[in-house]
Structure 1
Amino acid sequence: MRQLNILIWHIHGAYLTAITSTQHNWYVPTRPEGGEGYAGRGLDSTMPDYVREVPADQVQNLDLDLIICQTPKNYQVDRFDILSPEQQQLPVIYLEHNTPEPHPTNSRHPAADDPNATLVHVTYYNQLMWDNGQTPTRVVEHSVAIDPALRYEGRRDEGIIVVNELQRRGRMAGFDLYEQLRKRVPLTVAGMKAQDIGGIGEIHYRNLHKRVAEYRFLFSPMRYSSLPLAVIEAMTIGMPIIALATTELPTVIENGVHGFVSANIDELADRMQYLLDNPDEAKKLGDNARALAQRRFGLDRFVDEWNSVFLDVVNSSESINSTASSIL
């Protein structure tokens, strides 16, 4: 397909790195004061050179084909603040990363019933649970763009959690479970403000997975979340997963094959200790996890699916505009 000019806000750095593997002209807005979505490429970015920063007050000068929103603020405020009236008529994709809030089944999506938007969910669970109204929806499952040469080592007799601001996010992110389980098994956490709760702190994305690979297993304590990218990243390098059997994860991790999932915390603690005591078994489960990640969450599949979405959205918009012009 032809290269498109796409505007996207910097909301999730890891996901932005993956989606910009589609070789289009990507523009990320910046503001001197920063703020949600305006960090540009980010510090020491690993994204390709065709991902360009543009000052927010110059976005109106761009010849754009497509707008991608990822938060209610992007959708309800930002696009009207920085886009010209003509740009505001361009096709919009709302990329939804999160599970519904405040209610798991009765929350209406901000883009529900918008005839000019396409709503793309990152899991089928999200698509199922959100009230999407009449807005057309698609699902493009996750992928990650990390060094393909990285491999699991598992030499540390310890598990690791990778969650930003775990304490602030509380029970939803499983902070209480981390506090319980680290009294029973060696367990640490990486991410923003992790050092405040006894963890190893924030690690730049460029170096994160090499450090994570040292640990015996990755634990995802998230009670209610979309499929965490940390899980996909760990699987991609060949690491076994232990996680709560909630949301999309039971469709990904098969017990005794890729790791273990359960809603029973005692059972999870026992499985953690099992992997600590049996590094060869951990390696075998990690190999299976990596094979699954290559099949289900491979970057080539992800790029192809996103390009298909882009093509459908842009072609549909062009067809509607052409019909309108012929009527006029």
Structure 2
Amino acid sequence: MKLNILIWHIHGAYLTAITQTEHNWYLPVRPDRAEGYIGRGEGSTLPDYVREVPADRVKDLDLDLIIYQTPHNYTTDKVEILSETQQQLPGIYLEHNTPEPHPTHTLHPASGDTGVQLVHVTQYNRLMWDNGQAQAEVIEHSVAIDPTVQYTGQRAEGICAINNMQHRGRIAGYDLFETLRKRVPLTTVGMDAGAIGGLGEIHYRDLHRTVANYRFLFSPMRYSSLPLAVIEAMTIGMPIVALATTELPTVIENGIHGFVSNDPDVLADRMQYLIDHPDEALRMGANAQQLARTRFGIGRFVQDWNHLFSRLTASV
């Protein structure tokens, strides 16, 4: 049965993936395009059954389920655009991020709400947050990208795919990027990347064809959930070099899918190895792609979400 689901546009790549579940999805929009209210977005590749609805008309919708993704969604947006009846519908708080300011002593916004299902995108996230009384489970990431895109690695250079890396500072590993690109060929792509000598922002529909030409993806993220850029790169058959932090040590096996380490000297050495050995990069990229298909495949992801949707709406 197709459900009517309201979700805010917070993370474009994740929205593309979760809407592969073939339900009737509604995105609230406002003229000012405030956070969460951009609708489908410019040049959208979302399925046709993902529809925009003016925020002031959301109360008229016959909804089955609400998905919150930010504290603002959960506390403010809910009251502003949902009717009292809609606010009582089954709800999911989808948590994309690791807790701040502290990785173990931060209470989740939904921690006291036993009526909302809390979903984390990694086991690491669930472990770090204080989930309180909330029902918390994990549905691991997936990505929905053009299946015809395939890694070539023909460019002997690594690439990062991080938005606003310089503004996010040490959390995003900007200092490590600056240090390591002095030692090995390395660039970056994403919002405001041009300001630090990178490629700038490339639309999601074209991003992976560009990334596929580089020898490896480097993820310098010190503290985050499992970056979607890593899964996207693995999905197209690209080897990964990354810090051995957050969920990544459970994903990347050294010499099999790429390399992980917390030693910048080791990372620089492994990057140079991939640059000097393109055949090894291809081998590790193929292994990474196989892992992406099994652990992070869109089929598994859709099944997990549909199972949760069915369970939450069974009594509605």
Q: TM-score range by the shorter chain?
A: over 0.9
Residues in 2 aligned to 1:81 and 1:144: alpha-carbon distance in whole angstroms = 31
Partner SS, residue 201 of structure 1: coil
Residues in 1 aligned to 2:72 and 2:290: alpha-carbon distance in whole angstroms = 38
Residues in 2 aligned to 1:275 and 1:314: alpha-carbon distance in whole angstroms = 49
Residues in 1 aligned to 2:87 and 2:112: alpha-carbon distance in whole angstroms = 17
Q: Which amino acid aligns with 1:39?
A: I
Number of matched pairs: 316
- Equivalent residue for 1:308? 307
- Equivalent residue for 2:252? 253
Structure 1: give runs of 5+ residues left out of the alignment. 319-328
- Equivalent residue for 1:220? 219
Partner SS, residue 153 of structure 1: coil
- Equivalent residue for 2:89? 90
1:1-328 counterparts in 2 under 5 A? 2-315=1-314, 318=316
Q: Which amino acid aligns with 1:227?
A: L
1:138 deviation in Å?
Answer: 1.3
TM-score by length of 2: 0.99
1:64 deviation in Å?
Answer: 0.3
Residues 148-183 of structure 1 deviation map (CA, whole Å, 9 limit, x = unaligned): 111100000100000000000000000001110010
Residues in 1 aligned to 2:244 and 2:313: alpha-carbon distance in whole angstroms = 38
Partner SS, residue 84 of structure 2: coil
Residues in 2 aligned to 1:266 and 1:243: alpha-carbon distance in whole angstroms = 12
Residues in 2 aligned to 1:88 and 1:205: alpha-carbon distance in whole angstroms = 33
Partner SS, residue 52 of structure 1: strand
CA RMSD of aligned residues (A): 0.6
Residues in 2 aligned to 1:309 and 1:122: alpha-carbon distance in whole angstroms = 14
Residues 185-228 of structure 1 deviation map (CA, whole Å, 9 limit, x = unaligned): 01000000000011000000000000000000000000000000
Residues 112-164 of structure 1 deviation map (CA, whole Å, 9 limit, x = unaligned): 02021000000001111110011111100000000111110000010000000
Residues 266-322 of structure 1 deviation map (CA, whole Å, 9 limit, x = unaligned): 000000000000000000000000000000000000000000111111125x3xxxx
1:74 deviation in Å?
Answer: 0.4
Structure 2: give runs of 5+ residues left out of the alignment. none
Partner SS, residue 86 of structure 1: helix
